[in-house]
Amino acid sequence: MFPTRSRLADGREIIYFDDRRGRVPVPDPRDLPAVEPRCESRRDPLTGEWVTITAHRNTRTFLPPADQCPLCPGGPASEIPDPGYEVVSFENRFPSFSARTPGFARPEGSASRGVLDAVDGQELFPRMPGTGRCEVVCFTDDHDATLARLPLSRVRLVIEAWAERTSALSAMPEVEQVFVFENRGVEIGVTLHHPHGQIYGYPFVTPRTARMLERASAHRDATGGELFGDVLAAERAAGSRIVRAGEHWTVFVPAAARWPVEAHVMPHRHVPDLAGLTEDERDELAVLYRDLLRRCDALYGGPLPYVAGWHQAPVGEGRDLLRLHLQLFSIRRAPDKIKYLAGSESGMGAWINDVPPERVAERLRAAG
């Protein structure tokens, strides 16, 4: 993999990832104003969770026609000046988190790490700048392609780009956790159809990760075991929810799946993030991940709307507790039915799944 770095007209970084050397980036011809994001994180006193408020994102691009797609190369509306590319990552024009966010004045005597201010001056409502980093990762310059239908060499290059960006964002002083993910399908809420994903560098540890770290720590204290390794061993021993297994990875539907379609992809050894994978693990991941995406699309005879996200250990804590793994899920519960998050899920966080995980695993195996 050969990365080539450049800058867009407003100063944002863009990085091309190629299988060969020699790219000379085309200058961005646009006349763009400087990026001035306003990202602010406020902590909910009832849960301790951070909520990020980004008023500037309300004006972001929303489902433009194909000839105005900002991810197609070289067009008048394009974020990517070059006439073609393999894989490219660039700073989001409408970020949820950005190091360019202006800071607040730290209250006198405040010792809270990262907390720089309080809403209305009330100590119950601490807030801090939503510093961090958000990037868009384009998998191909083909507007009508999907990650599932790209050649293995391209999927492998995407994995290399994910790993490189995970390493780079993890080194930023304002980033506490890196999340690599893809949203696909209008039912999920995508705003661009072009095949792409995103990377978030959060300035805090996310709620789901914090909860997993708590569970992993309690499991180690109680049993001496590694929670994710023990879960994987139990799933492999049961066998009923295994979709496919390789030398380095296993694809399975979790026993307590929340979503109508859900699958996890987990490595056979403990590794905290994508950057820690070996060459052999990356090679096999390209095969198994593309295979899983194709199985998902075969479930209902067409593209499945999904979210696929890589759970990685935070930068500074729990790296011996949280094992890297992919969680893919879909809200589609039947060919013509969507699983909407209703009162129990949205209001109380108590999940109810209409589809038994064993049945989903069986159907995914049959769809291979």
Cα–Cα–Cα angle for 41, 319, 167, rounded to 5 degrees? 70
Per-residue pLDDT band for 63 (boundaries 50, 70, 90) equals confident
Across the range 289-295, mean pLDDT stands at: 98
Catalytic residue among 194, 196, 248, 325: 196
Percent of the chain beyond pLDDT 70? 96
Per-residue pLDDT band for 130 (boundaries 50, 70, 90) equals very high
Query: Could you tell me the sign of the dihedral formed by the alpha carbons of 306, 228, 258, 249, in that order?
Result: positive
- Residues 191-214 have pLDDT tens digits of 899 999 999 999 999 999 999 999
Per-residue pLDDT band for 108 (boundaries 50, 70, 90) equals very low
Q: How many CB atoms lie within 10 A of CB 4?
A: 17
pLDDT, residue 111, reads 41
Among the residue ranges 35-39, 41-45, 198-202, the one predicted with the least confidence is 35-39
Give catalytic status of residue 196 as yes or no. Answer: yes
Contacts of 187 (CB under 8 A, 6+ apart): 305, 331, 332, 338
User: The pTM is what?
Assistant: 0.94
Q: Domains of the chain (ranges plus CATH)?
A: 2-202 (3.30.428.10), 207-366 (3.30.428.10)
- Residues 66-89 have pLDDT tens digits of 788 999 998 778 999 999 999 999
Q: Is 103 exposed, middle or buried (0-12, 13-18, 19+ CB in 10 A)?
A: exposed
Residue 181: is its pLDDT beyond 80?
yes
